[in-house]
Homo-oligomer: A and B are copies of this chain.
Amino acid sequence: MIVGKSVNRVDAYDKATGIAKYTADLCDNNAYVAKVLHSTIAHGFVEEIDKKEAEAMEGVIKIVTCFDVPDIEFPTAGHPHSLDPNHQDIADRKLLNTHVRYYGDDIAAVIAVDEVTAKKALKKIKVKYKELPFVTRAKDALKEDAALIHPDNDDYESSLNGNKYKENGEHKNILAHTSINKGDFEKAIQEEGLIKVEGHYKTPIVSHCHIENNSIFAKEEFGKITVVASTQLPHIVRRVIAQALGIDWGKVRVIKPYIGGGFGNKQDALYEPLCAYLSTQVGGRTVKLEPTREETFVSNRTRHPIEYDITSYVRKDGTIVARKFLAITPNGGYASHGHSISAKGLGAFPQQYPCENIKADAYTVYTNTPVCGAMRGYGIPQAMWAGECHIDDIARKLGMDPYEYRMKFIMPKGFVDPFSKNENYFDSFRQTLEKGKEEFNYYEKKEKYKNQTGNIRRGVGLASFWYNTAVWPISQEASSCRMILNQDGSIQVQLAETEIGQGADTAFSQMAADAVGVKFEDIHVVSVQDTDVLPFGTGAYASRQTYIAGFAITKTANILREKILKHAYRLTRMSPDNLDIIDGNIIRKQDNRILMSLGDLAMKALYSMDHSEHITAEATHQIMSNAYSFGCTFAEVEVDIQMCKIKVLKMLNVHDCGKLINPQLARAQAHGGMSMALGFALNEEYLIDDKTGRVLNGNLLDYKLLTSADQPDLDVIFIENPEPTSVFGTKSLGEPPTCSGAPAIRNAVLNATGVALNQAPMSSRNIFVPFKESGLFEEVK
């Protein structure tokens, strides 16, 4: 068994030596280069584009504007396609837009012989706008007189006089609104002696900051448009390109090489449709479109900033009687993943601390800001920020220890979510909390840090989370796999689930090796994916890949094994029931005798003069399950009150993500996610200019991503309860490590200082006011 072992990554050598080729490495040197012209207003209509001077420049091949592109609105979210029109993603943008919805929107593109020429040409294009009032905050977008960002009639007048177009009493700038109602909130809160705890919690706009930007090149060949792109979802991007260009889906081919990270930004069609279109405008010549980091910050996707109001009514013993949640999310200028992120976050609350009376609402609202899309955690880091800060606020109000409070009221063993049918089989929440408490010496530290009075104070805090695995039952959950037996007994494995830096190909290789019965090194997962020959699958998102691919691999391996053993029967006359494949050999089960190697069998099957067969197998596996993944973070902080500076000393994550496929890779996943949680907690935040709607710090210098030197001691422990619905007992781990870090740090600060910081990130800038208002500065002066 190779599953469960920390084997080296299959791509380690290529990546360490620089052999690995990424999209930009693969593009022809003589490709045309496209650059996008972005709007310099936050809201309005492009009235006129004067491209004459730019077009006359030597080396400029063509300039395409928002007046030239197909009149087709398309969706961009990387969701599985749905046959139900009501469940399909919102189609609300064109390849280039005359109605400009944020500062940085795409209005034209230059195709030139090189990047320098293209950039120079951008500067010579003159744009005349007709401006509209813009909004950067959700509450402003909901004002009566707010201009409509997506009016039914997409013209200036309709946009400006938005309030005329209200329907069902809801503002037309609302992208979507969902409610959860359980029990009778109003009646429940009448109970005498209830303690009311209220909180307002807020998260920032954050950038994914993957290393490789969304590099793309496109060309027409073989009667198709081929798009090579740094994407998490080749098959979905293929579909979206076809939708955007209004062509048959089979006429698009997407190739995914090695990828330098995605974190959800590339779980969207980004500039792939535009790049494909631009190639069609220059006779199918190769056109390269590589967004800069600055464009990636502003004109790709971001993490949704969400504001939560939570009100809980609890009894003196802590029992939660009734809760009310309100989540308001400004989504930016286009829908992208839209409301599903806010809705997913909202759905987390009732399950984590079950309660009989709930009233919850989430609104996602169009705003004139960069577009929010998927990002690692998909709404859960935001929800956990609010929910787990709030739990500490309850515990504090009741004078209970936050660990103790959670142990008492968190989701009980055997809890089943009626919608997803997910079950907490093993009381994993409590197991992870208890394990964390012990390993972290939580009580010891807490005791040590009590009654501090100086400027530098330490504290400990914790937060928990749960996360789904895959997208059932909201969307379809299926994956296809193909296996191809080579003459030497090695096997190519094709899956549409993508290696984007996380180690997926290694996990797939391990599972495939065990599923077929060959050595790990005899599995070659085809990492460069080409939708023309790729089995269908939807790609990297929802922490689904290891879980769903496990099924597809196993099903396909079983078909392959059956074919192999059928040939073995022909060659050995031993009944297939008495045969097995172990370590790449055909063995007789009876006495474990090796009858032949798989390579021998492959040769004899392939080159047979009367029964030739190229042994391959292909299958789709669909699941109707999902799985709870659980965990928590314990954090230890040191707060310099006067400097408004939080230093995280130690951070421990405990995960129950089921059985680990590769413990070393699992640790690496956890470390990466914890680091991302740290940035979210402490530093990262878009600053948007109120006067223009422009992002002020949309670059790596001003945005201040944590560096490796900023990382504290990170540790992770796994509790490997085998997930019963999962073929390898595994469940989600990709996103979970990002979910509980920030509130754990916040709760540690609360423990250290007594101040509840409700706005992430807890940067000096953001914590000065709460520290001041709390009187802390006076205390330590």
Contact = CB atoms under 8 A, between A and B. Distances in A.
A250 B522 contact: yes
- How many copies altogether? 2
A221 interface: yes
A480 B488 CA distance: 18
A606 B20 CA distance: 33
Contacts of A611: 622
A250 B488 contact: yes
Contact of A492 (B13, B488, B532, B606): B532
Given A618-B618, A620-B614, A606 B249 contact: no
A392 interface: no
Contacts of A480: 614, 616
A17 interface: yes
Interface string A334-374: 00000000000000000000000000000000000000000
Nearest to A20: B221
A482 B535 CA distance: 11
A482 B480 CA distance: 15
Interface stretch (A45-53, A78-86, A93-101): A78-86
Contact of A535 (B17, B242, B616, B620): B616
Contact of A613 (B81, B609, B620): B620
A526 B531 CA distance: 11
A29 interface: yes
B610 A622 contact: yes
A329 interface: no
Interface string A595-622: 0000000011011111111101010101
A528 B19 CA distance: 23
A337 B11 CA distance: 39
Contacts of A491: 250
A487 B526 contact: no
A269 B620 CA distance: 37
Nearest to A615: B620
A607 B23 CA distance: 29
Contacts of A19: 219-221, 284
A522 B249 CA distance: 11
A223 interface: yes
Given A283-B17, A486-B250, A487-B250, A607 B533 contact: no
A81 to B, nearest CB: 5
Contact of A607 (B81, B284, B530): B81
Contacts of A486: 248-250
Task: State the majority secondary structure of interface residues on A.
Answer: loop
A500 B341 CA distance: 51
Contacts of A618: 616, 618
A561 interface: no
A639 interface: no
B222 A14 contact: yes
A115 B489 CA distance: 39
A451 B532 CA distance: 66
A56 interface: no
Interface in A599-654: 603-604, 606-614, 616, 618, 620, 622, 624
Interface in A469-514: 476, 478, 480, 482, 484, 486-492, 494
A491 B223 CA distance: 13
A634 to B, nearest CB: 40
A21 interface: yes
B492 A533 contact: yes
A694 interface: no
B606 A612 contact: no
A172 B447 CA distance: 94
Contacts of A222: 10-11, 14, 524, 527-528
Given A29-B29, A283-B17, A476 B526 contact: no
B610 A624 contact: yes
A239 interface: yes
A405 interface: no
A536 interface: yes
B612 A622 contact: yes
A442 to B, nearest CB: 44
A224 interface: yes
A1 to B, nearest CB: 22
A612 B478 contact: yes
Contacts of A13: 223
Interface string A1-44: 00000000011011001011100000001000000000000000
A533 B610 CA distance: 24
Contacts of A606: 536
A484 B534 CA distance: 9
A373 to B, nearest CB: 22
Contacts of A616: 480, 482, 535, 618
A251 to B, nearest CB: 8
A603 B83 contact: yes
Nearest to A481: B614
Contacts of A608: 83, 476, 622
B17 A284 contact: yes
A494 B533 contact: yes
A256 to B, nearest CB: 14
Interface in A533-579: 533, 535-536
A571 to B, nearest CB: 11
Contacts of A482: 533, 616
Contact of A620 (B528, B603, B612): B612
Interface in A98-120: none
A10 B223 contact: yes
A227 to B, nearest CB: 15
Point out which of A248, A535, A612 has the most chain B C-beta atoms below 10 A from its C-beta.
A612
Contact of A221 (B21, B535, B603): B21
Nearest to A624: B610
Given A21-B221, A482-B616, A526-B532, 14 more contacts: A10-B223, A14-B222, A80-B607, A81-B607, A82-B607, A250-B486, A250-B487, A250-B491, A250-B492, A476-B607, A476-B608, A480-B614, A494-B533, A608-B622
29 contacts: A19-B219, A19-B220, A20-B221, A80-B607, A82-B607, A83-B607, A222-B527, A250-B486, A250-B488, A250-B489, A250-B490, A250-B491, A250-B522, A251-B490, A476-B607, A476-B609, A478-B612, A482-B616, A484-B532, A492-B532, A492-B533, A494-B533, A536-B606, A536-B614, A610-B622, A611-B622, A612-B620, A614-B620, A616-B618
